[in-house]
Amino acid sequence: ASFSLQVVAVYKLTISISPSGTGSSDFIYDTFDSGLSGWSYTGASGYTLTLDSSNGQPAPSALISGDNFATPINGMQKAVDISMWTGGSLTLTFNWRASSGWPSSSVTNANLRVEDADTGQSLYEEQLIAGGVYDTGWRSYSKDISSYVSGHVRIRIILYLYDGWIANWDQRNWYDNIRLTGSGAPSNPGT
């Protein structure tokens, strides 16, 4: 006598995507642990964007450094798709530090600009520090930018310094833990 046994296994795979925290999701969260995370340099020659393995919160961090007289934007930029943002708050946070290579300098500055990534239209600008200090030490930044970027699909975050001095002050800006968090979960999680 012979017989045949057929076994059919049926599995149901359920993938659940839970936003971090309470009803929030990260559009970016860059700690620079494995490189510059898609950030690129923007500005004139004379400055560079590099990974600094000895500074950060904790190290490493992104470093903008150099010297080039009368150049308005020397910094780093990243375009971020916020099309899945469903409203509510959209909070930009990061750690930052600005300094000069010369202890007698008091022109250290750092700036933030958020613009429409497709048109270049400025949506929000802020001076984090506008001189008066040689080294700020590490500081934290947090801002709900939702009212400025509402209705836009892609934004560009630009973190930069302005070099307007003839002297060689060797300006430096560090950035770490850059995070853009929306209070509304993406409308189509996982796409």
3-state secondary structure 44-81: CCCEEEEEECCCCCCCCEEEEEECCCCEEEEEEEEEEE
Q: Which of 12-26, 40-54, 176-190 has the lowest mean pLDDT?
A: 12-26
With a cut of 60, say whether residue 75 has pLDDT above it. Answer: yes
Q: Determine the average pLDDT of the residues in 31-43.
A: 97
pTM, full prediction: 0.83
DSSP codes of every residue in 68-117: -TTEEEEEEEEEEE-TT--SS-EEEEEEEEEEESSTT----EEEEEEEET
% of the chain surpassing 70 pLDDT: 82
Separation between Cα atoms, residue 189 and residue 191, nearest integer Å: 6
Between 124 and 190, name the one with better pLDDT.
Answer: 124
Tens-place pLDDT, residues 126-137: 999 988 888 999
Dihedral over alpha carbons 111, 112, 115, 121 (to 10 degrees): -30
Mean pLDDT of the region 25-47: 95
Question: What pLDDT was estimated at residue 64?
Answer: 96
Give the Cα separation of 58 and 37 in Å (integer).
Answer: 16
Residue 46 to residue 186: CA distance in whole angstroms: 40
In this structure, the strands spanning 40-42 and 109-116 are: unpaired
Q: How confident is the model at residue 191 (pLDDT cuts 50, 70, 90)?
A: very low
At position 99, the amino acid (one-letter code) is S
